């Protein structure tokens, strides 16, 4: 009889443990969703403008280098 009562208590304990585990996983899922949203905002506000600036620098570099070289050549003469 005491074995059956112990088993019932164990089953109740495991049921409560599983219930709280589900609650924790659900909250964890919400946190992960919020983190994904923050990462998307950071990507949109920081990374994309930096890519645009990098693109502009890449396209302007040959012109700036040619101007610098012409200035250096004129100073040497």
How much is the pLDDT for 43? Answer: 87
For the chain, which residues score pLDDT lower than 70?
A: 77
Tell me the residue ranges of DSSP E strands in 9-55.
none
Is pTM, for the whole model, over 0.75? no
How much is the pLDDT for 34? Answer: 94
How much is the pLDDT for 77? Answer: 63
Which residues neighbour 41 within 8 Å (Cβ) at sequence distance 6 or greater? none
How much is the pLDDT for 11? Answer: 96
10-26 tens-digit pLDDT: 999 999 999 999 999 99
* C-alpha 22: how far from chain center: 25
């Amino acid at each position: 009889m005491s074995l059956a009562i112990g088993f019932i208590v164990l089953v109740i304990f495991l049921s409560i443990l599983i219930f709280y585990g589900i609650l924790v996983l659900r909250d964890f899922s919400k946190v992960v969703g919020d983190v994904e949203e923050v990462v998307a905002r950071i990507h949109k506000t920081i990374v994309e403008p930096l890519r645009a600036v990098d693109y502009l620098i890449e396209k302007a570099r040959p012109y700036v280098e040619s101007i610098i070289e012409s200035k250096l050549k004129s100073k040497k003469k």
